[in-house]
Amino acid sequence: MSALKDKTMSSVPMFDSSILDGDILVIVLRGNLDSASTPEFDRQVNEHLEKGYSKIIIDCRYLGYVSSIGLGSLVALQARLRRKGGEVKLSTILGPVNQILRAVHLDKVLSIYGDLEFARKSFYE
């Protein structure tokens, strides 16, 4: 599991990542996915893509806000994964983030699941 601490050096990492079922990358986002955090998010995702992983779940239960830069990163990631035969799935999207995704119709582009387990199972359907 890897983690990055935010610029305030709080004890809560901005991202946690782990591997489920041997081939699914799970990233738990905390705080905001914005211009400050998206480059590190992209770096972590690219590390895993370079290892050959093409299945990613992004757990958004602790995500407070997503900016246009963060949205762009998610859409670009989905396009990249689909070209490799994979997919990104979002889980546990709450409150303002859910409203933002619906307002820009990304709920029609990205696969969204109520929780991490439903997202995991969807890779096997």
pLDDT tens, 42-81?
A: 998 898 889 888 999 999 999 999 999 999 999 999 999 9
Domains and CATH numbers, the chain: 2-122 (3.30.750.24)
- The residues, any chain, with a CB within 8 Å of residue 3's CB and separated by 6 or more, are 13, 14, 15, 16, 17
Length of the chain in residues, anyone?
125
Tell me how far apart the alpha carbons of residues 32 and 14 are, in angstroms, rounded to a whole number: 8
The per-residue pLDDT of the chain, averaged, comes to 87
115 has a pLDDT exceeding 50: yes
pLDDT of residue 38: 94
pLDDT at 13: 64
pLDDT average, residue stretch 111-119: 95
Tell me the pTM. Answer: 0.85
